[in-house]
Amino acid sequence: MRSLPVDLVPERLGRALAEGWRLAGSIEYVPEGGGSYHWKLTGDDGQSHFVTVDDLDGKDWLGGTKDAVFEGLGRALGTAAALRYGVGLEFVVAPIAASDGGLLRRLDDRYTVCVFPFLAGRSYRFGPYTDARLRGRALDMIATLHRATPAVRGSAAHHVPRIGGRAELDAFLLDPDRHWEGGPFSEAASRLLMTRTADLAQLTTGFDQLAEATGAARADPVITHGEPHPANLMSVDGRLVLIDWDTAALAPPERDIALIATTGDQDIDRYQQATGRELDPAAIALYRLRWYLDDLASAIRLFRHPHRDTPDTRRWWRGLAPRLGQLPQWLDHLG
């Protein structure tokens, strides 16, 4: 996130790091990422750590209440720790345990904090894979992850393919004429979305039908990362690592493959040969559509409610019209 949350109390963050991880030193905000807030902490001993704060109101795919989201987030991070330290998957960037063995601490009713190693390396831009070599390495990494399923099958959460922010999306479709007064982009966003209400309702119905139709194909899940796009990869000392494991869960392999294998059948074939698993094109379509609808629902949730003019809200506003412009292609794809 580019902008700090106005209601986060810095003293609480410092106190949580000192009490939980025995960390003290200088802390610098890092305006990167799309779902969490980040800091670089340089300790008094010169060692650096990467501090992540999550908003429990912004991760509804993990649960319907703050407590449920906190539990789900802890379970996802625990899965990452098991994969890294139990299975030995070195590409998993897992959190560092606090003094009491926990991976996650509450700052207040809304925010949580966890700590990771600070990695100095090369990051990649968000978007589709344009580098064939990087895409191939990502596919091989994900195949290795999926083969590690037996080690976490009994502890990892099960992912349900649902739209994040679905309640806000449904509320808008039920009452698209409702006036928005949440902030500087509310009125313009409302007008823009109202022009595409019918298409958006049709696509949402199509998602529900696709989820029902792929039920059998999703019956044998593997452990998935959930968001293995290029921006969640880093090259560190010549090795490739995967960050941001808050979406880790048991799901069909198509959940991960949908974000990597975007250039043709050769990517699908590479994964199937590595794992011996057949992939379902309809399940791949389901997860790609879920990602698209997630973005639109997130924009609706943001602009229907109070917000400020920040780099984050401006970025969402600039992206809204191009996203809506993709609706006809998605409807054609569903047929």
Residues 77 and 153 in one domain: no
Q: What is the pLDDT of residues 306-329, one digit of tens each?
A: 999 998 899 999 999 999 999 999
State the average pLDDT over residues 282-303. Answer: 95
Residues 311 and 165 in one domain: yes
Residues 24 and 86 in one domain: yes
Torsion of the alpha carbons at 60, 63, 68 and 74, rounded to the nearest 10: -80
Residues 223 and 82 in one domain: no
Residues 90 and 162 in one domain: no
Domain boundary among 83, 98, 120: 120
Task: Residue 267: give the domain boundaries.
Answer: 127-328
DSSP labels, 24-60:
-EEEEEE---SSSEEEEEEETTS-EEEEEEEEGGG-G
Residues 73 and 203 in one domain: no
Strands 48-55, 122-123: pairing kind: unpaired
Residues 289 and 308 in one domain: yes
Domain boundary among 120, 139, 170: 120
145 within some domain: yes
Q: What is the pLDDT of residues 144-175, one digit of tens each?
A: 999 999 999 999 999 999 998 899 999 999 99
Residues 161 and 96 in one domain: no
Residues 148 and 34 in one domain: no
Residues 256 and 317 in one domain: yes
62 within some domain: yes
Q: What is the pLDDT of residues 168-199, one digit of tens each?
A: 999 999 999 998 988 999 999 999 999 999 99
Tell me how many domains the chain contains: 2
334 within some domain: no
CA dist., res. 293 & res. 127, Å (int): 16
Cα dist from 185 to 155, 199, 301, 323, whole Å: 42, 22, 12, 16
Residues 158 and 285 in one domain: yes
140 within some domain: yes
276 within some domain: yes
Domain boundary among 120, 144, 166: 120
335 within some domain: no
CA dist., res. 33 & res. 108, Å (int): 22
- Asked if residue 1 has pLDDT above 60, the reply is no
CATH of the domain at 184: 3.90.1200.10
Q: What is the pLDDT of residues 215-263, one digit of tens each?
A: 998 999 999 999 999 999 999 998 999 999 999 999 999 999 999 987 6
333 within some domain: no
CATH of the domain at 84: 3.30.200.20
Q: What is the pLDDT of residues 37-95, one digit of tens each?
A: 999 999 888 899 999 999 998 888 888 899 999 999 999 999 999 999 999 999 999 99
Residues 143 and 239 in one domain: yes
Residue of 282, 266, 265 whose CA lies nearest to 335: 282
96 within some domain: yes
